[in-house]
Each structure stands twice: as C-alpha cells, then as structure tokens.
Amino acid sequence: MKDSYGREVNYLRLSITDRCNLRCKYCMPEGGIEKLEHDAILSLEEIDEIVGEFVELGINKVRLTGGEPLVRNGIISLIEKISRHSGITDLALTTNGIHLKAMAKDLKNAGLTRINVSLDSLNDKKYATMTRGGKLQDVLEGIEMAKKVGLTPIKLNVVLIGGFNDDEVENFVALTKDESIDVRFIELMPIGEVASWSLHNFLSNDYVLKKVPSLRKITASEPASPAAYYQLPGGKGRVGLISPISCKFCDTCNRIRLTSEGQLKYCLHSNEEFDLRTVLRNKGSLREIIEHSISQKPLEHSIEEGNFVSKNMVQVGG
C-alpha cells in the first residue's frame, strides 16, 4: 500500500486495550481514564478480521500495544490467530514488562517474535514514582525471562525526562556494552497529560550524545526505523535515538495505527480518526476506508507548531 507521497505503508500498530496496570505520569492521569463500555472495544475476532484485511493490502509487520497489552484477556489466543496470517513476517509487542515473567513463554509459543520493554529508570524508587507504584524488579525479571525464551532482539524504550532520568543516561547506555540489547531514548512528546508539563522536562536527544561522546553513529539495518543508531566502541548492543520533536522522521514513515476502539489513525500526532469498527459491524467495505485513510496520510506532523493531540498515549496506542 503506497500513500499519496509514495511511502510504502506496511506496518500496523495495534492497540488492543486502553487499560493499564501502571499510571505513568506522562501517559495516564492519576485516577486512570474513563472506562469504556465493553461493546466500544473491538473483540478479539474483530481485531483478527481487520488484521486479515490489512495483510491483504500489504501489511507485513504488526505490533501489539496499548494501554498495556498484557492485561487484555485472551491476548495469547489473539497472538495465535494473528500469527496464522502468512503475510506477517514480524509480530512484536510493546509492554511495561510487569507481567512478562509469567507470560513470556506462552507469548513465544503463541507466535510472538520479539518485544520492546518500556523502562524509564534503573532506580527502584524513581521507577515507582514515575509509574505510580510499579516494581522495577518485576520488569527486570520479565526481561530476563524474555531473553531466556527467545523473544529477541529485545529493545528497551526509555523516555528521556529532564529532572527525572537525565542523570541515568550513562547507566542505560552501559547496558549495551556487553549485551546485544538495543536501548532507545525517546523524546517526551507533548501528548495528552504532558502537554501542560514544564519545558524543563523536555530534553532533546542530543543530550545523550553530549553525555556519552564516545558513541559512534552506525547504519541501521532497518531503513524505515524512526531511530538513529549509535554504538559504544566495542559495544555489543546499540543505542537508538528516537527524536520526533527535534528531528522528524516523517519522510520514511511506514506505519498506521488502530485504536482499541477500532479507530484508524494515519498519524500518531493527528486527531483525525477513521471509524473501522462501525464499518465492520455494518458489514461495509474495510478495504475502502483503509485505502481512503492511507490516501489522506499527511506529508509530516506539526506538533512543534502547537497542534497537540488531546488524547493520552494510553488511549491512542503508543
């Protein structure tokens, strides 16, 4: 599927729930978000039917996200269903890692290829503060289990937050020295909760290069990756910098998103949505609405001009 600017769209990010077992300060309000009616959320069968249509249209890479995907009932059977679509060559998942230790083996057996784990601090007190109650040890044990069962290569996602984890950059980078793990720093995006945060919290990813000047740029093997990759001299892993604010990567964007409510978004930073759930339930043409939405995909986002998305990441699907 090509969009109107000739970009090949082959990557679907699928939010399977807007619920979460954590309350990260930049993503969720303290009291959580309003619960959706059961019927407002796509069923597992509906998700699978929509994925089938996407695969026919050329999607070959699928990532499950949320909310926290591991709290969705039936996730293992959903992965089994999705992995049966022979057009999919990469089926990945992004998680906070809390339930990973218990679920890694079943996820792997169901057909999941690999995982990204979000981890913003290596200090248990700071981790608990930012996630409003998460236990760092659970995540670390989850990562170990994921390695053991072969949900690899593992990528750690670290949102860089001024005054919170800017003093941990060297420690995160050091994880890539002896292990073939990717640590990716992500710039804090002014979405939902964060739109009102102080500018003091926003740090450009250049900060990582200033803190660790020995990092050397390398060529990424994945051409459409939003990350610019670096390596420590002799390092086994990689350090990725994902910089949606200071350095757009829209010209190679290959992705499209589906929310847990069945709304298709052609860009994370747009408020525009296309209602696939209604089309599906009214037995309309999914293909038509998908093709139409892709034809509307903009050349680039404009968050730096103050066009912020009003929903939180947990609702959009990060």
Please give the Cα distance from 168 to 139 (Å, whole number): 17
176 neighbors 232 (Cβ within 8 angstroms)? yes
> Is 134 among the residues that bind ligand SAM (CB under 6 A)?
no
> Is 61 among the residues that bind ligand SF4 (CB under 6 A)?
no
Q: Which of residues 212-241 bind ligand SAM (CB under 6 A)?
A: none
Question: Looking at the DSSP assignment, which residues form a beta bridge with residue 218?
Answer: 229
> Is 165 among the residues that bind ligand SAM (CB under 6 A)?
no
Q: Of 10, 96, 231, 293, which one interacts with ligand SAM (CB under 6 A)?
A: 96
> Is 118 among the residues that bind ligand SAM (CB under 6 A)?
yes
Q: Of 10, 17, 95, 121, which one interacts with ligand SAM (CB under 6 A)?
A: 95
Please give the Cα distance from 172 to 316 (Å, whole number): 27
> Is 103 among the residues that bind ligand SAM (CB under 6 A)?
no
> Is 314 among the residues that bind ligand SF4 (CB under 6 A)?
yes
Contacts of 161 by beta carbon, 8 Å cutoff, 6+ apart: 26, 120, 130, 188, 201, 203
Least distance to ligand SAM, CB of residue 284, Å: 29
Please give the Cα distance from 146 to 299 (Å, whole number): 37
Least distance to ligand SF4, CB of residue 314, Å: 4
Least distance to ligand SF4, CB of residue 201, Å: 15
Q: Of 12, 14, 16, 22, which one interacts with ligand SF4 (CB under 6 A)?
A: 22
List the alpha helices (DSSP H) in the chain: 44-56, 75-83, 100-110, 124-131, 136-149, 169-178, 206-211, 276-281, 286-295, 313-316
Nearest one of 142, 116, 2 to 59, comparing CA atoms? 2
How far is CA 2 from each of CA 264, 271, 296, rounded to the nearest angstrom? 16, 22, 11
Q: Which of residues 10-39 bind ligand SAM (CB under 6 A)?
A: 20, 26-27
Nearest one of 160, 190, 193, 201 to 301, comparing CA atoms? 190
Q: Of 96, 121, 243, 263, which one interacts with ligand SF4 (CB under 6 A)?
A: 96
Q: Which of residues 116-145 bind ligand SF4 (CB under 6 A)?
A: 118
> Is 107 among the residues that bind ligand SF4 (CB under 6 A)?
no
Mark the segment that binds ligand SAM (CB under 6 A) among 49-57, 90-98, 266-274, 282-290: 90-98
Contacts of 68 by beta carbon, 8 Å cutoff, 6+ apart: 17, 19, 20, 21, 22, 95, 96, 98, 99
- The entry of ligand SF4, ligand SAM, none that residue 12 binds, CB within 5 to 8 Å by partner kind: none
Taking CA 58 as the corner, what is the angle to CA 249 and CA 258, rounded to the nearest 5 degrees?
65
> Is 28 among the residues that bind ligand SF4 (CB under 6 A)?
yes
Cβ closest to ligand SF4, residue 151 vs residue 286: 151
> Is 64 among the residues that bind ligand SAM (CB under 6 A)?
no
Give the residues lining the site for ligand SAM (CB under 6 A). 20, 26-27, 65-66, 68, 94-96, 118, 157, 159, 186, 188-189, 191, 194, 313-314, 318
